[in-house]
Amino acid sequence: DLMLQKNTGKLTGWVAYAWAKAPRSLAKGDEWITYPSVHNREHDLNVVANYRLSGKWNFSATYIYATGTPYTEVKSAYILGENGIVMYEKHNGSRYPALTRLDVAATYQLPRYRAIEHSVKFSIYNATFAENPIAYAYNHAKGNIVYKRPVCLFSTAVPSVSYFMHF
């Protein structure tokens, strides 16, 4: 793990990088089979920046890059009558594409009311519309053809408005 952080001035934030492996081993007869854990993300980069424009406005951005997680790829699939028969590749031998995401936000500090501090935050999750598959769906088409399509949780930007109150 490596982290660089800036805590002073109008621009603050950090850059953090982690490299890790999480292998798993399983006894199969007299030999051991080693494969990557489903949680194995070898490279993980996070960049966070905050910019205080004035006493009222604060802007922030978070960028994330992470190696895709391992999964077990379908080698082939057949339909026999009404039954599906699936053959798999090596356990966790494939990886999803790398995950990338940019989140941005602007916070406006409202005037203080008695002892209450409050603000409004405008944010966009996945501002770059990154398509990060979390799984693959296998669908059956005409002619006994099976095809694979990525399943993405959020492949569009998700805007939000939040109100915060501190008392």
Residues facing residue 123 across a β-bridge: 105, 160
Res. 104: pLDDT tops 70: yes
Residues 6+ apart with CB under 8 A from 49: 11, 12, 13, 60, 61, 62
Beta strands of the chain (E only): which ranges?
2-6, 11-19, 23-28, 31-36, 43-52, 57-66, 70-71, 74-80, 83-88, 94-95, 99-109, 117-125, 133-141, 145-152, 158-166
Confidence of residue 7 (pLDDT cuts 50, 70, 90): very high
pTM above 0.95, yes or no: no
Confidence of residue 146 (pLDDT cuts 50, 70, 90): low
**Closest C-alpha to 66, from 104, 97, 107:** 97
- Per residue in 14-47, pLDDT (tens digit) is 999 999 988 888 888 888 988 888 888 899 999 9
CA distance 103 to 62: 5
